[in-house]
Amino acid sequence: MNQAAAQPQALLGWMESLADSTRLRLLRLLERQELGVVELCEVLQMPQSTVSRHLKLLGDRGWTTNRREGTNNLYRMTLDELKPAARKYWVLTRDQTADWPVVEQDRLRLDRVLRDRDRDAQSFFADAAAEWDAIRGSLYGNAFQQSALLALLPPHWVVADLGCGTGAVAAELARHVARVIGVDQSPAMLKAARKRTHGLSNVDLRKGSLGKLPIDDASCDAVLIVLVLTYVESVEAALREAARVLKPGGRLVVVDLLRHDREDFRRRMGQSSLGFEPSRFSAMLTAAGLTPRRCEPLATEPQAKGPALMLAVASRTPSTDSTNPLSDRVDQKESPVSSR
Ligand SMILES: C[S@@+](CC[C@H](N)C(=O)[O-])C[C@H]1O[C@@H](n2cnc3c(N)ncnc32)[C@H](O)[C@@H]1O
């Protein structure tokens, strides 16, 4: 009990705050569940002015806390947040009120209010299912989904982003893994990447070619090659280099163009090839010492005007080194798949 409450008048005033059956009922409800005034009125079957008056007194005497959510005030009573004397007093009071019929009635009505609350959410989704994707985007944007997925990455990973361009992928990745090594042969692209990743101390940008990477053997947990291989003269050599820098069991992810016949597009974009056919790409991965896990077309997006894309995932064939947990994981849980 605080010093003030230890004085006779203060103590009596403080005890008086509990000497009311409505306030006891309120505290029992708020100990079970954080609730708003409207819900409390429904459970207690009392007008809002009465409930609000009692809530104010309980708050002033330190029995309850509240927080604002939108236009609502939500109230609760948390045993651990009470002063020790109040906690003892409440535990005794709660015990003594356990058999009150009105308390049982309140409990049943609260059950129903909570069921209704749940049903409101469910019926919202039943109605919204058809438009949910659009509602989700307009309310919250789309970037959070990528952040959530990236947060699944093991934080200790070292990831190489080969042909990193302006560093868009590297900058995103860097927030979720230990280190990103970006490699690109174009000084202009690297300059833009440096600007974009300024302040991210775990991004290491290096000038170099995919045919001869400036990265040590077996030093990366994962390698990304996004929209680069159609520019490369020897895709075979680039894949061999990717395999070399991967740790045993490490993972390669490639996104690039599916084979197409838009010669004008290829020329305009300065690309060396018209993209890749998944089953042939899968064979190239195998020839480079990698185990293909998947190799498949990606769903096209309505606003995307370029050729469709392909996703390929492979892992470096694990060594017999049993101390590498990643090598075991990939080998046992995933079976190699050919293209779909
Ligand atoms: C179309 S951009 C893609 C950039 C980035 N990956 C992205 O998704 O935004 C292709 C990048 O690959 C780089 N590049 C192309 N051939 C390369 C090679 N042989 N070695 C290193 N970088 C290369 C280019 O300089 C360019 O920055």
Is-contact 77 31, C-beta < 8 A?
Answer: yes
CA of 149 to the centre of ligand 1 (A): 24
Pocket probe mutation, ligand 1, options 196, 209, 228, max atoms within 8 Å of Cβ: 228
Q: Is 134 contained in some domain?
A: no
Which pLDDT does position 267 carry in this prediction? 94
Burial class (CB in 10 A: 0-12, 13-18, 19+), 48: exposed
CA of 76 to the centre of ligand 1 (A): 56
Nearest-angstrom CA–CA distance, 308 and 285: 20
Pocket probe mutation, ligand 1, options 231, 240, 298, max atoms within 8 Å of Cβ: 231
What are 298-310's pLDDT values in tens digits? 988 778 899 999 9
Q: Which helix (H) or strand (E) holds 257?
A: strand 246-257
Residue where a domain stops, chosen among 83, 100, 128: 128
Residue where a domain stops, chosen among 94, 128, 162: 128
pLDDT at 85 over 60: yes
**Residues 107 and 237 reside in one and the same domain:** no
Which pLDDT does position 6 carry in this prediction? 61
Q: Look up the CATH number of the domain holding residue 99.
A: 1.10.10.10
Nearest-angstrom CA–CA distance, 94 and 25: 10
Write 269-274 long-range contacts (CB < 8 A, 24+). Answer: 269/230, 270/231, 271/230, 271/231, 272/230, 272/231, 272/232, 272/233, 273/229, 273/230, 273/235, 274/230
Which pLDDT does position 14 carry in this prediction? 76
CA of 236 to the centre of ligand 1 (A): 16
What are 7-55's pLDDT values in tens digits? 777 778 778 888 999 999 999 999 999 999 999 999 999 999 999 999 9
- Give the pLDDT band (50/70/90) at residue 333: very low
pLDDT at 279 over 90: yes
Q: Look up the CATH number of the domain holding residue 306.
A: 3.40.50.150
**Residues 206 and 287 reside in one and the same domain:** yes
**Residues 63 and 113 reside in one and the same domain:** yes
Domain boundaries, position 69: 3-128
Pocket probe mutation, ligand 1, options 180, 181, 183, 185, max atoms within 8 Å of Cβ: 185
pLDDT at 245 over 80: yes
| Residue 231 Cβ < 6 Å to ligand 1 | yes
Please state whether the predicted TM-score (pTM) of the whole model is above 0.75: no
pLDDT at 311 over 70: yes
Q: What is the DSSP letter of 175?
A: T
pLDDT at 335 over 60: no
Atom of ligand 1 nearest to the CA of 209: 20
Which pLDDT does position 91 carry in this prediction? 93
Nearest to 90 by CA among 33, 44, 24: 24
| Residue 168 Cβ < 6 Å to ligand 1 | yes
Atom of ligand 1 nearest to the CA of 238: 19
CA of 247 to the centre of ligand 1 (A): 23
| Residue 182 Cβ < 6 Å to ligand 1 | no
| Residue 225 Cβ < 6 Å to ligand 1 | no
The whole-number average pLDDT for the span 168-179 is 96
Q: Answer with the residue of higher pLDDT: 181 or 117.
A: 181
**Residues 162 and 280 reside in one and the same domain:** yes
Is-contact 222 181, C-beta < 8 A?
Answer: no
Q: Is 195 contained in some domain?
A: yes
Pocket probe mutation, ligand 1, options 159, 172, 183, 184, max atoms within 8 Å of Cβ: 184
Q: Which residues contact 58 (CB under 8 A, 6 or more apart)?
A: 17, 23, 26, 27, 64, 77
Q: Is 137 contained in some domain?
A: no
CA of 38 to the centre of ligand 1 (A): 59
Atom of ligand 1 nearest to the CA of 255: 8
Nearest-angstrom CA–CA distance, 285 and 90: 69
Looking at the structure of the chain, the number of domains it has is 2
Q: Is 41 contained in some domain?
A: yes
Percent of the chain with pLDDT over 70: 92
Burial class (CB in 10 A: 0-12, 13-18, 19+), 275: buried
Residue 198 backbone zone (phi > 0: left; psi -120 to 50: alpha; other: beta): beta
Pair of tokens at residue 62: 């330190």
Instruction: Indicate the range of 113-117, 194-198, 263-267 predicted with least confidence.
Output: 113-117
**Residues 149 and 15 reside in one and the same domain:** no
CA of 255 to the centre of ligand 1 (A): 12
Which pLDDT does position 41 carry in this prediction? 94
Which pLDDT does position 9 carry in this prediction? 77
The whole-number average pLDDT for the span 154-176 is 97
**Residues 234 and 98 reside in one and the same domain:** no
- Give the pLDDT band (50/70/90) at residue 336: low
CA of 283 to the centre of ligand 1 (A): 23
What are 319-329's pLDDT values in tens digits? 644 444 444 34
Which pLDDT does position 319 carry in this prediction? 62
Percent of the chain with pLDDT over 90: 68
Q: Over the chain, what is the mean pLDDT?
A: 89
Instruction: Indicate the range of 87-96, 232-241, 243-252 predicted with least confidence.
Output: 87-96
